[in-house]
């Protein structure tokens, strides 16, 4: 979420494990049998059975596509797949740099399967998140019509924007600052590939557990920063210093964690994995229906699998950090001293390996 493009490169570094995909639920509604097959194709052809970079790419495009919406003026049709349908327009916007990577997979996939681009984005995101430890089970509404127009530029906030600008844009789409923080749980699996152009930092993760949907990113963004990641080009537009070697911090996240309008919601997510996941699911559902009428869609949530449980039920202080590095900003609740701390010295966090997709239709 926010401008942090991903490009199709295989990077040395962290690679996601490849566990066996558990049996998926069968459709009870006969109308959802088709979507159970679509789900299986997503798992096998797009995600390759793992929670890795392609899942976050779907989460990212889901926000960028849906937020092209306004309660007060014509800023696009919301969650309608316009970013794929009108890619020649929307992918030229600076905030959408790098989204062509996942579009190159999704467009031929959707065309081959026979679904709308809006459904490919939102249903695909729900399927992908079902593979991620700690993630909530997201709704699977389908039946979105094709987009009829592109969203205009400047609908997607960027990390260098002022908080006033970001909050105003989100309010125009119907979201409060707290709901924005809930959506930013997606950063628990995020990595950067555009803010710092240095090759060594392609895929630098936002937290120390980039393949888990957990609350580490919220805790680690609250830690006092010490430096920019080694191998990078230093202070780039939209970048802030980070507390751990190899970890990347976007400027807007740093500000959200320290602003009185969002600091308490940010800290609450850091302290509760279950609440973070539940709040994300609620706000994602709202986002996925922007520009749509829910009663006109088919609810096939029943075919979305249950994600694996969180590996860590509570955030922890990574090696080399401790409670004393928390930069307290929530005025109504002190940060507790009960979280565990990993012993030892801080070690560099490797970059995330970006996925290729040899089974996607575009590569056949």
Name the binding residues: 65, 78, 80, 82, 187-188, 207, 209, 214
Residue 259: CB atoms within 10 Å:
14
Q: Catalytic one among 64, 72, 182, 323? A: 64
Which tokens sit at 290?
């922007």
**Coil vs helix vs strand at 242:** strand
Q: Which residues of 78-216 form beta strands (DSSP E)? A: 141-142, 191-192, 204-205
For residue 56, indicate whether it is catalytic.
Answer: no
Binding annotation for heme b: 187
Binding annotation for Ca(2+): 65, 78, 80, 82, 188, 207, 209, 214
Which tokens sit at 276?
């973070």
Contact between 71 and 286 (Cβ < 8 Å): no
d(CA 174, CA 256): 18
Q: Report which of 45, 51, 91 is spatially closest to residue 68, judged by C-alpha positions.
A: 91
Which tokens sit at 196?
């710092």
φ and ψ at 205, to 5 degrees? -80, 155
Exposed e or buried b per residue across 177-196, where buried means at least 16 C-beta atoms within 10 angstroms of its C-beta: bebbbbbbbbbbbbbbbbbb
d(CA 281, CA 136): 6
What is the maximum alpha-carbon separation in the chain?
56
Contact between 218 and 276 (Cβ < 8 Å): yes
Contact between 264 and 332 (Cβ < 8 Å): yes
Q: Which residues are catalytic?
A: 64
């Amino acid at each position: 979420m926010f401008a942090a493009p991903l490009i199709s490169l295989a990077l040395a570094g962290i690679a996601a494990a490849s566990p066996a995909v558990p049996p998926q639920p069968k459709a009870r509604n006969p109308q959802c049998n088709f979507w159970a097959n679509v789900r299986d194709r997503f798992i096998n052809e797009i995600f390759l059975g793992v929670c890795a970079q392609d899942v976050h790419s779907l989460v990212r495009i889901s926000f960028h596509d849906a937020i092209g919406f306004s309660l007060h003026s014509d800023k696009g049709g919301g969650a309608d797949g316009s970013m794929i349908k009108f890619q020649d327009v929307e992918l030229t916007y600076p905030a959408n740099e790098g989204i062509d990577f996942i579009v190159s997979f999704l467009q031929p996939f959707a065309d081959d399967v026979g679904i709308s681009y809006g459904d490919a984005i939102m249903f695909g995101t729900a399927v992908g998140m079902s593979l991620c430890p700690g993630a909530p089970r997201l709704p699977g509404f389908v039946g979105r019509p094709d987009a009829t127009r592109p969203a205009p530029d400047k609908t997607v906030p960027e990390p260098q924007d002022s908080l006033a600008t970001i909050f105003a844009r989100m309010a125009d789409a119907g979201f409060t600052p707290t709901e924005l923080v809930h959506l930013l749980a997606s950063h628990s699996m995020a990595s950067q590939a555009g803010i710092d152009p240095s090759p060594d930092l392609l895929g630098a993760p936002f937290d120390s557990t980039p393949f888990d949907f957990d609350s580490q990113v919220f805790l680690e963004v609250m830690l006092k920063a010490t430096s920019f990641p080694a191998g990078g080009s230093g202070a780039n537009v939209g970048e802030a210093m980070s507390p751990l070697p190899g970890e990347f911090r976007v400027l807007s996240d740093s500000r959200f964690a320290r602003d009185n309008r969002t600091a308490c919601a940010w800290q609450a997510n850091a302290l509760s994995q279950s609440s973070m996941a539940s709040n994300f699911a609620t706000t994602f559902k709202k986002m996925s229906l922007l520009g749509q009428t829910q009663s006109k869609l088919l609810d096939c949530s029943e075919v979305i699998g249950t994600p694996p449980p969180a590996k860590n039920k509570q955030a922890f202080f990574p090696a080399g950090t401790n409670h004393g590095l928390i930069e307290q900003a929530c005025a109504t609740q002190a940060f507790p001293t009960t979280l565990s701390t990993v012993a030892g010295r801080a070690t560099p966090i490797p970059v995330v390996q970006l996925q290729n997709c040899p089974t996607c239709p575009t590569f056949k």
